Structure 1
């Protein structure tokens, strides 16, 4: 079915946030919503008592669109707050458009908006192009039906993401159950400096003039580390390398690295395994873990993920604004080391857990594909609501 198309500016007001400056930041006052507070609810707020126009006030349930760096749609779920620049507060005309339908319409429209992005590494949307983006406008009752179908598919995706979080938490829970806290060492394992088992190798200082936004070789940075350990792609921010480099800084699949710079809160000491052979490069400020005595790398990954080890690394680090550690400081960590056979038993458990995570990842991809297909059909007028109701 074909529906009339309308420009975004004709169904909603889009209010850009206020340009708060560091001089406005205080210890108390209303929280300032920055893009990082939308993408990661654990990120701390900057606060202020600075008075701004009430159009910058955000309440729970308000729709927000981040239009710089991260391009996405959010519904604010926290306390009353103030809106920072580079985020739109969306004020729809609910007489003609359903809130939930509009959120999904905006998500679909963002794919079209991407052709209007500016910048090679820091993407942002031109306001005029954005407001001129068109979305279909079916009758209100049809909008609500479409939103219900999309919400059901979206919930399946979220359930899968929740399973992934629970599987990740299970790995660390089993580590602590088997080995206890490695610093307090209440299980009484023989204590050793990590340097008796591993050496940490510095990465290579790759030359900035050969950095690129695409290429064959991925340049690992602290931004590729998840706070709770593991690899994440940086998407459009990912750096690639086009120049020559020594072969020894090409990583193999399964190489274990540790972040030695706290590029963002919680990253210092975070571990990851290189995802594949012949693709990822060992950059400076990342420590490659090389074993010198028998010790299991999965055990080491779990070790670096414990809060007590992270605290030790942070405490011994240097720097005020950005904290740094070093190979020597990591090697000097004194921890309880359990027998290798117990480490291997833990590794076998993790191997089985990884199989479950891979299965869940594949299922998650299928659900993502389903949701995106429904999204496209819905906003092309191709979604057969009657057949879905019968199913």
Structure 2
């Protein structure tokens, strides 16, 4: 059935950027980037907000909660469902079922997602790869019974959510290894732990490669892996895109590279922005743009690989350009790079963590591939009216539920702070998150969350307050110290909601230097955590902080945990929390998706 027959379809608008009073209000105003950042396909938070005057200037075009948003420009086919009333710009269509039509919006969402590539292909035929509202209105959408729509949407949404969660789990493993390396060995650039250092050129035996003649077809008819920089997209090499024959080793100077060499790229445009590293697990050959390093006995190859990862920025600064513009990492640059050599026993301990994490990552990647294949099969059958799950497919969906990754194997080492250190931490939190809507509420909630999630013991005594966990004496002490040392000028606005403003002063750079030294082992996990809240409003921070507190309290008290119990605890926290009732499901899903899950660490908040 044609979409315009079953749905109202309208676009949004953009208030004039030349009129400041149109912006900075309370009405969420979505752009395509907000759709891309929506949590589990539900959009409740936007980067920008507009005023009533701004809304009037675009004809009061506002979409109610439960509207499907569709991106027509740029990121064609991106979709989300509004979790609250909001406005959008003109690049987004709002799609709502007509009153007498039985259409389940999540069904329409998964239909758009399943047909995304077709829509992108249509967009390529017009200027700037955009779609018009006319094209969308004329789309033919299969419309099964309402119960079948529910069935299709539930199954495909479950598969899609599992795919997203699996990708996040894989990314978390990479983040975990980075933070573990820094905790165990420190920053290799500064080498603050004082490890012995050696020049990179002395770190092992460097083996070169070459390219067999393309004119000799017999050289390219074998199965032996021959690597070039285009193969360096993974951390472990088992095969290559190109292969050569054994004749190459008999008739040329090409050498075989045994397993367990560290492979690097020394020439190519990829060095303008990346320094790829990989370990080969099979015998290989390489081309002339690469080196294969056999580490010295004092270097564990897994430590060596992650050390060079941590030195990436310094290495890229050493990259030079040849006369024709090609980037290169030459021997003179290599001599300027130093490699710290910690005790081999410590390197071996790290290597065991890498291998264990790597095995888990392979398991996740295999699961992800299986889920993606299943999603493709299910979506094709769903819109042909053939969707029935086999027993095997049901088992895949059940088995792919993500494992708990917090509070188990992957844990943070707690840090105990003195009064000075907690002020430095607080100042850093302000530096990282001090955007337009930043004030005391957002600051205190992020301080609470950072302490409890990152296990940074600042000796707080948070208690229940209308806006969430609250420790007035702690905040007073921190703010007075930040002002005394000229890190921040802190004042309260006399207008509106009397928001507290934090204005950075000249000494704030010194604060960051102190933070980098004091929290060298914790810095990466703190910054990774704070980045999750980069686009969160103060209200979102209040909701997440309170949910985290009631969830953590239940863990401490060894009480049962369900979404309904957590939501009830949230509403029981303070009578005014009722205003957030319709945002709690989205907030809990956000916590799951972002991995902001308590483990029962910290004090009970009463």
TM-score (norm 1): 0.59
Q: Does 1:195 align with 2:201?
A: yes
Q: Determine whether 1:174 maps to 2:180.
A: yes
Secondary structure at 2:278 match in 1:
strand
What SS is found at the alignment partner of 2:386?
A: coil
Q: 1:375 aligns to what?
A: 379
SS in 2 for 1:187: coil
Equivalent residue, structure 1, for 2:316: 314
Counterparts of 1:268 and 1:359, CA distance in 2: 27
Counterpart Cα distance in 2 of 1:207 and 1:98: 61
Query: Which runs of structure 2 are paired with 1:185-334 in the superposition (5 Å)?
Result: 185-205=191-211, 217=225, 219-222=227-230, 224-225=232-233, 240-241=241-242, 246-247=248-249, 248=254, 253-261=259-267, 263=269, 267-274=273-280, 276-277=282-283, 282-306=286-310, 309-319=311-321, 324-328=327-331, 329-334=333-338
The offset of 1:189, in angstroms, is: 0.7
Q: Could you tell me how far apart the structure 2 residues matched to 1:310 and 1:276 are?
A: 26
The 5 A counterparts of 1:327-346 are: 327-328=330-331, 329-346=333-350
Q: Say which SS state the counterpart of residue 292 (structure 2) adopts.
A: strand
Question: Does the CA contact (< 8 Å) of 2:268 and 2:326 recur in 1?
Answer: yes
Shift of 1:162: 1.4
Q: Assess, with a 3 A threshold, how the Cα gap between structure 1 residues 382 and 218 changes in structure 2: closer, same or farther.
A: farther
Q: In the alignment, which residue of structure 1 is the partner of 2:440?
A: none
How far is 1:322 from its partner? 6.6
Using a 3 Å threshold, how does the CA distance of structure 1 residues 191 and 277 change in structure 2: closer, same or farther? closer
What SS class does the counterpart of residue 177 from structure 2 fall into? helix
Q: Helix, strand or coil for the counterpart of 1:305?
A: helix
**Which stretches in structure 1 are left out of the alignment for 5+ residues?**
14-32, 39-60, 119-124, 234-238
TM-score (norm 2): 0.40
Alignment correspondent of 2:351: 347
Match of 2:167 in 1: 161
The structure in which a higher percent of residues are helix is 2
Kept in 1, the 8 Å contact 2:209–2:288? The answer is yes
Larger Rg: 2
User: Between Structure 1 and Structure 2, which shows a larger proportion of strand residues?
Assistant: 1
**In terms of mean alpha carbon deviation, does 317-326 or 157-166 score higher?**
317-326
| Corresponding residue for residue 19 of structure 1 | none
Q: Distance in 1 between matches of 2:141 and 2:256?
A: 46
Distance in 2 (alpha carbons) for counterparts of 1:241 and 1:210: 15
The Cα of 1:316 is off from its aligned counterpart by: 1.2
Conserved 8 A contact 2:303-2:351: yes
Q: Compare relative contact order (CA 8 Å, sep 6+) and give the higher one, 1 or 2.
A: 1
Total equivalences in the alignment:
317
Per-residue CA distance 1:222-281 (angstroms, 9 max, x = gap): 57436xx56799xxxxx9436668444665554321233574588532312236445xx5
What displacement does 1:296 show? 1.1
Tell me the CA shift for residue 292 of structure 1. Answer: 4.4
SS at match of 1:154: helix
Q: What do the CA deviations read for 1:115-142 (whole angstroms, capped 9, x no partner)?
A: 99x9xxxxxx9x9xx9999864435774
Native 8 Å contact 1:259 1:269 kept in 2:
yes
* Coordinate RMSD, CA, aligned: 5.6
* Deviation of 1:300 (Å): 0.9
Measure the CA separation in 1 of the matches of 2:264 and 2:8: 46
The whole-number CA distance in structure 2 between the counterparts of 1:186 and 1:340 is 18
Cα distance 1:198–1:368, how it changes in 2: closer, same or farther (>3 A)?
same
